[in-house]
Amino acid sequence: MFLSRREMLKGLGASIALPYLEAIRSASTSPVRLICIEQVHGAAGSSAFGIQNNLWSPALTGRNFDLTPTSLKPLEPFRDHITIISNTDVPSADPTEAREIGGDHFRSSATYLTQTYPKRTEGADVECGVSLDQLHAQRFGQDTPIPSMQLCIENVDQSGGCGYGYSCVYTDTISWASPAKPLPMIRDPRVVFDQMFGVLGNGSADERRERRQEDLSILDFVRESSKRLLNRLGAADRVRLNDYLDNVREIERRIQAVEKRHDSGEPRELPMAPRGVPDSFADHVTLMFDLQLLAFRSDITRVFSFKLGRDASTRVYRESGSTGAFHIVSHHSENPDRIREFAKINTYHVRVFAELLRQLKETPDGDGTMLDNSLVIYGSPMGNPNQHNHRRVPFLVAGHAGGRIKGGTHIRAKDRTPLSNVMLTLLHALGHDDLHSFGDSEGPFQLE
Amino acid sequence: MLKRISLALLVAAIASTASAQEKKVTVADFAGTWNIEVMSHQVALVIEAAEGNKATGTLMLMGRDTLLKGELVDRTISFVGVKSEANGNMPADHQPPAEHPVAGSGMPPQPIVVTLQDDGTITGEMMTNNGPLKWTGEKLRAKKKG
């Protein structure tokens, strides 16, 4: 029996796309998925001390790199899947005139995936470039119900000008559908979940709201439909489908638990955050990662962008071992002890990121794993946060992009290489072979 | 032997003098927009050449523009502030606290001393609430936008 890739479990007010099943797999090949993650405000390893002590990128280039002293140490289990590219710059984030000097926080994020200079304006006439994720979604995202999704961890509800004459949209998103169209990012896991499972079907906003109030599961609404499908599947696919539905339910249960806790009146660490947002950074990021994986498994979308914070965040990442506020710690005054403290936060963020790679690697996909068939970009448009510069920025990619990226290597770029060269090559790996330039690129970058 | 050493010293002295004459610094060498780093903050300092060894400037610091006037001696211009006004760069919730060493007064700490280095960068010093503060700066490179 063969199933259409577009077959779904349907019920009143809910629809669930199917995961990859044998019955579907034989009729299609595994697509490449893309996740673009911004680690905000640079890295300790981009300072002079950090470079000398390999706090971000390893000392050796090639395949024999040692991650031990670096913030990338949590990626050791995935070393064959990662490509570290060090010593690149993001010149499009540099100031071009006196009024722009000092405004790095307010334009940096906009340059990350566009590699384009953002126009200094506080008005509606914002202008940057089309971001890498959107270039990909516009060409290859039309095969899925949602071409792309944009997620974030910290608040993006600012308006007007944020500073130095820059509109807040430049700091609020890393995804640009066109030079004049920044895309909003979603912070609330509940909204992500509802978009993933509501947009496909016949559920109205009221019906979804009612479902939430009654504390029901989306599975309750598709029970009959899933029962019918299970009867048609072979034994192995039945296990896969049940496992997938359990996974959907587990994520939904976690979102409901967060909402319930926040409705209880208990004091919150993030009192202004939506009720579906976990107060814990790790819980929030992990939930967002789980939703991304679920979207990939069910082919709801193949493209995500994900912003992990804000440059000026005062969040304290206690799990990192640092007790200082993020932004304060990032301004380390080039003091070695303080740089090492910032490195702890970088390492912690990478540790949370590693959890995504673990799940991708453990998820079978076609003849390999989901990590084999993904391209995950992780980096920052900022270099040394203490100087607000955009030189020697932290950057790596994970995954083999369906075999187009070999991985397992560290490449140190020549001085003054723009990161846009690397991004141009990544776009080629994603199938955009006809692209000759991207942002301020000067040419492709050798990734082997 | 002594003659040889004397000759070598003489040649070195002449070369040094010639070099110094070639590298005579003028206010025009300072003219342009400088990105200076003051206590981990990027600050714009725009310098314009005026008559003779005089210079004017604008320091864009912590949401304020301060107009400066100064005079070059050797490789150093000593500036003083003449007028300061808000430039709208910093929204209310980004204003530095009053106790910040370079914030609050509206007028910059004085004087501001700017020295041109051989590598084309500038170094400087300004007096602040917390005492003298050293800084470094690079000239803003012209870059194509878009």
User: In this structure, what CATH number is given to the domain that contains residue B120?
Assistant: 2.40.128.120
DSSP state of A332: -
pLDDT tens-place string over residues A34-87: 999 999 999 999 999 999 999 999 999 999 999 999 999 999 999 999 999 999
Average pLDDT value for residue range A122-141: 96
Contact B87, A102 (CB under 8 A): no
Distance CA A389, CA A95 (A): 10
Q: What is the pLDDT of residue A250?
A: 95
Q: Testing the interface with B: which of A47, A89, A101, A166 to mutate, by most B Cβ within 10 A?
A: A101
Length of chain B: 146
pLDDT tens-place string over residues A164-190: 999 999 999 999 999 999 999 999 999
Q: Per the domain annotation, does B31 fall within a domain? A: yes
User: Chain centroid to CA A268: how far?
Assistant: 25
Q: What angle do CA A164, A165, A168 make, to 5 degrees?
A: 95
Tell if the CB–CB gap between B140 and A102 is shorter than 8 Å. no
Q: Per the domain annotation, does B144 fall within a domain? A: no
Determine how many CB atoms are found less than 10 A away from the CB of residue A117.
25
User: A217: helix, coil or strand?
Assistant: coil
Q: How close A443 comes to chain B (CA, Å)?
A: 17
Distance CA B46, CA B33 (A): 4
First to last CA, chain A: 42
Q: E strand or H helix at B122, and its extent? A: strand B122-128
Determine how many CB atoms are found less than 10 A away from the CB of residue A63.
12
Structure tokens at A321: 């071992």
Mean pLDDT, rounded, of chain A: 92
- Please tell me if residue B146 touches chain A, with a CB cutoff of 8 Å: yes
Distance CA A347, CA A334 (A): 18
Confidence at B21, pLDDT banded by 50, 70, 90: low
Contact A408, A65 (CB under 8 A): no
SS (H, E, C) A144-158: CCCCCEEEECCCCCC
Full residue range of the structural domain in which residue B76 is found = 25-139
Q: Per the domain annotation, does B86 fall within a domain? A: yes
Q: Per the domain annotation, does B114 fall within a domain? A: yes
Q: Per the domain annotation, does B122 fall within a domain? A: yes
Tell if the CB–CB gap between A388 and B40 is shorter than 8 Å. yes
pLDDT tens-place string over residues A236-265: 889 989 999 999 999 999 999 999 999 998
Share of chain A above pLDDT 90, in %: 77
Distance CA A425, CA A439 (A): 12
User: A331: helix, coil or strand?
Assistant: coil
Tell if the CB–CB gap between A101 and B42 is shorter than 8 Å. yes
- Choose between B107 and A270: higher pLDDT: A270
Determine how many CB atoms are found less than 10 A away from the CB of residue A1.
9
pTM: 0.90
Alpha helices in A153-234 (DSSP H): 169-172, 189-198, 205-213, 218-221, 223-232
Q: What is the pLDDT of residue B103?
A: 47
Average pLDDT value for residue range A188-201: 81
Determine how many CB atoms are found less than 10 A away from the CB of residue A325.
14
Distance CA A1, CA A179 (A): 46
Structure tokens at A39: 């680690």
Q: What is the pLDDT of residue A216?
A: 77
Instruction: Show residues of chain B in contact with A161, CB under 8 Å.
Output: 91
Q: Per the domain annotation, does B2 fall within a domain? A: no
User: Mutual orientation of helices A235-263 and A223-232 as an angle, nearest 10°?
Assistant: 160
Confidence at B10, pLDDT banded by 50, 70, 90: low
- Choose between B11 and A24: higher pLDDT: A24
Distance CA A421, CA A191 (A): 35
Chain A from 164 to 223: CB within 8 A of any B CB: 164-165
Tell if the CB–CB gap between A98 and B145 is shorter than 8 Å. no
Q: What is the pLDDT of residue B61?
A: 80
What are the backbone angles phi and psi of residue A35, rounded to the nearest 5°? -130, 130
- Which of B42, B91, B143 lies nearest to residue A96, judging by beta carbons? B143
Question: How many domains are contained in chain B?
Answer: 1
Q: How close B105 comes to chain A (CA, Å)?
A: 20
Q: What is the pLDDT of residue A10?
A: 83
Contact A140, A2 (CB under 8 A): no
Contact A395, A422 (CB under 8 A): yes
Q: What is the pLDDT of residue A243?
A: 92
Q: Per the domain annotation, does B18 fall within a domain? A: no
Contact A374, A136 (CB under 8 A): no
Q: Per the domain annotation, does B84 fall within a domain? A: yes
